[in-house]
Chain A
Amino acid sequence: DGGITQSPKYLFRKEGQNVTLSCEQNLNHDAMYWYRQDPGQGLRLIYYSQIVNDFQKGDIAEGYSVSREKKESFPLTVTSAQKNPTAFYLCASSMDRFGDTQYFGPGTRLTVL
Chain B
Amino acid sequence: KNEVEQSPQNLTAQEGEFITINCSYSVGISALHWLQQHPGGGIVSLFMLSSGKKKHGRLIATINIQEKHSSLHITASHPRDSAVYICAVKETSGSRLTFGEGTQLTVNP
Minimum CB distance partner of B45 in chain A: A101
Interface size on B, residues (CB 8 A): 23
Count of A-B residue pairs with CB < 8 Å: 55
B95 x A103 contact (CB < 8 A): no
Indicate which residue in B41, B95, B97 contacts A97 across the interface (CB closer than 8 Å). B95
- Measured CA separation A105–B43 after assembly (Å): 7
Q: Which of B44, B90, B101 contacts A104 (CB 8 A)?
A: B44
A40: B residues at CB distance < 8 A? 101
Flag whether A64 is at the interface (Cβ < 8 A).
Answer: no
Give complex CA distance A90, B2 in Å. Answer: 21
Q: Distance (Å) between the CB of B92 and the closest chain A CB?
A: 11
Most buried by A among B2, B90, B95, B102: B95
Q: Let me know if A106 and B86 touch, CB within 8 A.
A: no
Contact digits for B1-25, partner A, Cβ 8 Å, 1 yes 0 no: 0101000000000000000000000
B95's contact among A41, A44, A98, A104, by CB below 8 Å, is which? Answer: A98
Interface residues on A, range: 20 to 34
Main secondary structure of the interface of A (DSSP, over half): loop
Q: CB-CB < 8 A to B48: which residues of A?
A: 100-101
In the complex, what residues of A have CB within 8 A of residue B44's CB? 104
Given A42-B99, A92-B43, 19 more pairs with CB closer than 8 A: A41-B101, A42-B4, A42-B98, A42-B100, A43-B97, A48-B96, A58-B96, A90-B41, A99-B90, A100-B31, A100-B90, A101-B48, A103-B45, A104-B35, A104-B44, A104-B45, A106-B41, A107-B41, A107-B43
User: Could you list 29 A-B pairs, sorted by A, with CB under 8 Å?
Assistant: A41-B101, A42-B2, A42-B4, A42-B86, A42-B98, A42-B100, A43-B88, A43-B97, A43-B99, A44-B99, A45-B97, A58-B96, A88-B41, A90-B43, A92-B43, A99-B90, A99-B97, A100-B31, A100-B90, A101-B33, A101-B45, A102-B33, A103-B45, A104-B42, A104-B43, A104-B44, A106-B41, A106-B42, A109-B41
